[in-house]
Chains A and B, each alone.
Chain A
Amino acid sequence: MNLQSNDFELFGLALQFEQDRAAIDDRWKDLQREAHPDRFAAQGAAAQRVAMQWSVRINEAYRRLKDPLRRAAYLCELHAAPVNAEDNTAMPAAFLMQQMEWREALDEARDAVELDRLAGEVRSARHDALQECARLLDTEHDYAAAVRQVRALMFIERFAGDVEAKMDRIDAAEQGQ
């Protein structure tokens, strides 16, 4: 194993989408216990630098592994099916329609209750898309199809972020009164 090992190798996990989140968390902490710069604070600059490199690499892998969307995108990439989110934004019409409906609902939402309802809808769409991702990646091994699913998830994720941002604004406004 070295700094170039892939995330799954580094964390000693099977190369697949389905993962136990608790196991990923435990493994992350075990690895940081070995590699964190704090462990080498009394051991000179060389050890500090190496520890920093490892610790950064472990955190990077952890961020990708724990997040189902990033994990799916990473698996596609490892199987030579890059997501290239910037270059390819073509999506099915039905999906885009739903996105537009959501956008309208977000613009019209006036209070936390309406936003909560919208957030719930987004969560459930996200859940379904992830299930589909799992099937395509682990059962079908159809990475090209998985890439399309990952792109849809990226839209959903971005929208969830916008809902969150509006929630913050409403919260701040309510406090300001």
Chain B
Amino acid sequence: MPPSRDNRAISKITNMALLQISEPGYSPDPHQRRVAVGIDLGTTHSLVASVRNGVAECLPDGEGRVILPSVVRYLEGGGRQIGFDAKSAQAQDPQNTIASVKRFMGRGLGDVIGHDKLPYHFIDKPGMLALQTVQGEKSPVEVSADILATLRYRAEDTFADDLYGAVITVPAYFDDAQRQATKDAAQLAGLNVLRLINEPTAAAIAYGLDNASEGVYAIYDLGGGTFDISILRLTRGVFEVLATGGDSALGGDDYDRALADWVMAQAGVMVKTPQDKAIAIIAARACKEELSAAHCAACHACIGGENVRFEVVNEQFEKLTASLTQRTMQAVRKTLRDAGLDKDEVKGVVMVGGSTRMPQIQQAVANFFGRPPLTNLDPDQVVALGAAIQANQLAGNNTTGELLLLDVIPLSLGIETMGGLVERIVPRNETIPTAKAQDFTTYKDGQTALALHVVQGERDLVADCRSLARFELRGIPPMAAGAARIRVTFTVDADGLLTVSAKEQISGVEAHIDVKPSYGLGDEQIAKMLQDSFTTAEADMKARALVEARVDCDRMLLASASALAADGDLLSADERADIDALMAATRAALALQDPAPIEAATQALAKGTEAFAALRMNRGIQQALAGRNIETV
């Protein structure tokens, strides 16, 4: 039996106490390796990987299994089971055993097609649905955080060290609400998120570096609940995404359901109770997996006390899921068009995700591209491995790293204008990070406020797009209609997350919003969940805050020291003395036992070195250009 969560919480406290004893001469070796991991938070299962001795590998649990089923069971009277234990309880306790929770991330109940066929007790809420369990209401973010925390503990046990940070993968086709929900879950699990990266891009890293590939590759990623297709160009360690597409609600689960529905209809069995729904789907999944290796398989389940047994041959399964497979191929064609490429220009197609084991998928891909797909990396592990390579580089462990990801935003971002139409501001497939501005104006005389509605999607009508946030710019001085100039700026960061700001150009009135609060979770909600979660023990909370403050502070000190060593000559003697003084003060703060002053010192150092950072960047850019000019001369 793996240790229960509650035991873990206790052992965490002990670790922290030990860490405190090793103060105050605390000055870590700058070359010390930082433990960074890649996490594939999947619909069906999740994995954690890390680079050890230069090689990326998935970390196994105590029993040697690298896969953690993404299933969480909430037990009556407290406590929970996560992974294999929860999975095996699915049929027996379906309402409290949450599987495939990824499909609910950042989603309202109306967004989840076929939710009536699922055995859960859903609660419809604005923004994101919730699940009613014996332990009360659970947000999909909390359920995901339980999975992430389990993987975090696995990594910390493996390395007997705290984690520096993690790269978490998301489907390329995830919209802003889904990405934000994933980041919230990671925060809730106590992870420092180095970056969210797209699953197909992560797979391309693992594949590309492993095979020293160059040229254009397509990544076909069919997971348990999501489908992504990405077209990338690989050149000298640069992974440039040319276009991405997919369907964030299409995956192996749909194949299971299609098979379950068909078998039950053929057998003339009515599926009514949550237990029966769960049993039918589990039986269909087992049958599907068997069909990947055999021509024919039996689907058997005990529904309502009656034994149902039905033989399925491959052609039947293929036929009844053909429309699902076609949906994926339609997205492939569209994405190729977006990339401006012909299928002949694609050098190879890499298969990712357990669902690509189905023979009909491999066949459809081979038929379209006219070549067999590449399956030489384990489709279950390749995403986590790529994320681990990126995490290692972001943590600064790989200083010679040539790896650079240039990813894109999967869905267009826009603003609602008069008549319920969308004015597109950032088009899909634009390389991130990016910022775009557009000017709007008032439509009534004396109008002093402007309501802004931020949406994401490709359709022209607001009603057909996903609503991300609403906010208001107030305090515009009364002017004639059309006289105000309101500049709305969309900024999408390297995680693919959006920030919106609006400014009236004449009066200077400004409003600013992270898209997060109105559609994802508010900071208060997260704080409450953190309190409700397994870290409830107050001592643990405090100890964690202190450790986090110190890790952050230390990170800032190390960064400043290495910046000074590399580019200290950019500073005047006075500027240098100021930074030295700030660093000394920050170093002194590290020994304190209270997180607040440590955080304040970190902030002060960050602010005090901002101008220096800008100077360094300028030098970096100029060096890049200078190097180039010498080459071309």
Chain A residues within 8 Å of B, Cβ to Cβ: 1-2, 12, 26-27, 29-38, 41-47, 49-52, 54-56, 59-60, 62-63, 164, 167-168, 171-172, 175
B610 within 8 A of A: yes
Q: Would you call B330 and A43 a contact (CB within 8 A)?
A: no
Please pick, from B330, B394, B431, B613, the residue contacting A47 in the complex, using a CB distance under 8 A: B613
- Which residue of B is nearest A164, CB measured? B337
Within B589-633, which residues are at the interface with A (CB < 8 Å)? 605-607, 609-610, 613-614, 616-618, 620-625, 627-629
What is the minimal beta-carbon distance from B236 to any residue of chain A, in angstroms?
8
B375 within 8 A of A: no
Interface 9-residue window, one of B59-67, B290-298, B553-561: B553-561
- Which residue of A is nearest B558, CB measured? A42
Within B304-321, which residues are at the interface with A (CB < 8 Å)? none
Report Cα–Cα, A158/B358, bound state, in Å: 41
What is the minimal beta-carbon distance from B334 to any residue of chain A, in angstroms?
6
What is the minimal beta-carbon distance from B330 to any residue of chain A, in angstroms?
5
- Which residue of A is nearest B623, CB measured? A34
Q: Would you call B559 and A42 a contact (CB within 8 A)?
A: yes
B326 within 8 A of A: yes
What is the minimal beta-carbon distance from A163 to any residue of chain B, in angstroms?
11
Q: Would you call A38 and B618 a contact (CB within 8 A)?
A: no
Q: Would you call B330 and A50 a contact (CB within 8 A)?
A: no
Q: Would you call A38 and B394 a contact (CB within 8 A)?
A: yes
What is the minimal beta-carbon distance from B198 to any residue of chain A, in angstroms?
14
Q: Would you call B624 and A34 a contact (CB within 8 A)?
A: yes
Question: 20 pairs across A/B with beta carbons < 8 Å?
Answer: A1-B622, A29-B235, A30-B628, A31-B621, A31-B624, A33-B624, A37-B493, A38-B393, A38-B404, A41-B395, A42-B555, A42-B558, A44-B609, A47-B559, A47-B617, A52-B493, A56-B491, A59-B430, A175-B326, A175-B330
Of the listed residues A2, A50, A54, A63, the one surrounded by the most CB atoms of chain B closer than 10 A to its CB is: A50
What is the minimal beta-carbon distance from A169 to any residue of chain B, in angstroms?
11
Q: Which residues of A contact B521 (CB under 8 A)?
A: none
Report Cα–Cα, A47/B559, bound state, in Å: 9
Q: Would you call B396 and A42 a contact (CB within 8 A)?
A: yes
What is the minimal beta-carbon distance from B322 to any residue of chain A, in angstroms?
10
Report Cα–Cα, A45/B559, bound state, in Å: 10
- Which residue of A is nearest B403, CB measured? A38
Q: Would you call B613 and A171 a contact (CB within 8 A)?
A: no
Q: Which residues of A contact B34 (CB under 8 A)?
A: 42
Report Cα–Cα, A77/B581, bound state, in Å: 47
Contact digits for B386-416, partner A, Cβ 8 Å, 1 yes 0 no:
0000100111100000001110000000000
Contact digits for B561-601, partner A, Cβ 8 Å, 1 yes 0 no:
01100000000000000000000000000000000000000
Q: How many A-B residue pairs have CB under 8 A?
A: 126
What is the minimal beta-carbon distance from A65 to any residue of chain B, in angstroms?
13
Q: Would you call B406 and A32 a contact (CB within 8 A)?
A: yes
Q: Which residues of B contact A63 (CB under 8 A)?
A: 430-431
Query: Beyond A34-B617, A59-B431: 18 further Cβ-contacts under 8 Å?
Result: A30-B625, A31-B621, A42-B394, A42-B555, A43-B396, A43-B562, A44-B609, A44-B613, A46-B607, A47-B613, A50-B614, A56-B433, A56-B434, A56-B435, A59-B433, A168-B337, A172-B330, A175-B330
Q: Would you call B434 and A60 a contact (CB within 8 A)?
A: yes
Q: Would you call A175 and B613 a contact (CB within 8 A)?
A: no
Q: Would you call B240 and A46 a contact (CB within 8 A)?
A: no
Given contacts A46-B613, A50-B613, contact A168 B621 (CB under 8 A): no
B473 within 8 A of A: no
- Which residue of B is nearest A5, CB measured? B621
Report Cα–Cα, A167/B395, bound state, in Å: 44
- Which residue of B is nearest A62, CB measured? B431
Q: Would you call B624 and A55 a contact (CB within 8 A)?
A: no
B89 within 8 A of A: no
B179 within 8 A of A: no
What is the minimal beta-carbon distance from A148 to any residue of chain B, in angstroms?
25
What is the minimal beta-carbon distance from A171 to any residue of chain B, in angstroms?
6
Q: Which residues of B contact A29 (CB under 8 A)?
A: 235, 238, 240, 404, 406
Given contacts A44-B555, A45-B606, A56-B435, contact A35 B326 (CB under 8 A): no
